[in-house]
Amino acid sequence: AQTVTQSQPEMSVQEAETVTLSCTYDTSENNYYLFWYKQPPSRQMILVIRQEAYKQQNATENRFSVNFQKAAKSFSLKISDSQLGDTAMYFCAFMKGGGSNYKLTFGKGTLLTVNP
């Protein structure tokens, strides 16, 4: 079974600064996907970024980027130029690959607060 660990229950950052959220996972699979989801107070789960394990290049979406270290089973999220609207719970998630998989395994989340 896969496990996802987020070791930082809460973090805070000043507006316009950069913050990194940590995530580690455990799996024996070689083909899988990793995700970061954002859950603002509205409770909507919003996909922030997705990484395919077979790709060595780190995924980037505007101000959001990941540092994917496959050997270390680490998948951290970097938010640059933090904005007040980035305040939310952030969940790291894992999904097996292979075309017939659909279960996401989530970590417990990190509550990020962006301060003005």
Partner 1 sequence: NAGVMQNPRHLVRRRGQEARLRCSPMKGHSHVYWYRQLPEEGLKFMVYLQKENIIDESGMPKERFSAEFPKEGPSILRIQQVVRGDSAAYFCASSAYLDEKLFFGSGTQLSVL
Number of chain residues interacting with partner 1 (CB under 8 A): 25
Which residue of 20, 64, 80, 106 would you call a contact of partner 1, by CB under 8 A?
106
Residue 23 binds to partner 1 (criterion: CB under 8 A): no
Residue of 29, 73, 87, 104 that binds partner 1 (CB under 8 A): 104
Q: Tell me whether residue 50 or residue 70 sits nearer to partner 1 (CB atom).
A: 50
- Residue 6: name the closest of 21, 20, 18, 19 by CA: 21
Q: Which of 108, 116, 112 minimizes the C-alpha distance to 4? A: 108
Q: Measure the N-to-C terminal CA separation of the chain; round to a whole number of Å.
A: 41
Q: Are strands 110-115 and 10-14 parallel, antiparallel or unpaired?
A: parallel
Nearer to partner 1, 38 or 68 (CB): 38
Residue span 30-69 as binding mask against partner 1, x where in contact by CB under 8 A, dash where not: -------x----xxxxxx--x-------------------
Query: Is residue 85 near partner 1 by the rule CB under 8 A?
Result: no
Pairing of strands 46-52, 19-21: unpaired
Grouping H, G, I as helix, E, B as strand and the rest as coil, residue 18 is coil
Q: Which amino acid is at 64?
A: F
The residues binding partner 1 (CB under 8 A) are 4, 37, 42-47, 50, 91, 93, 95, 97-109
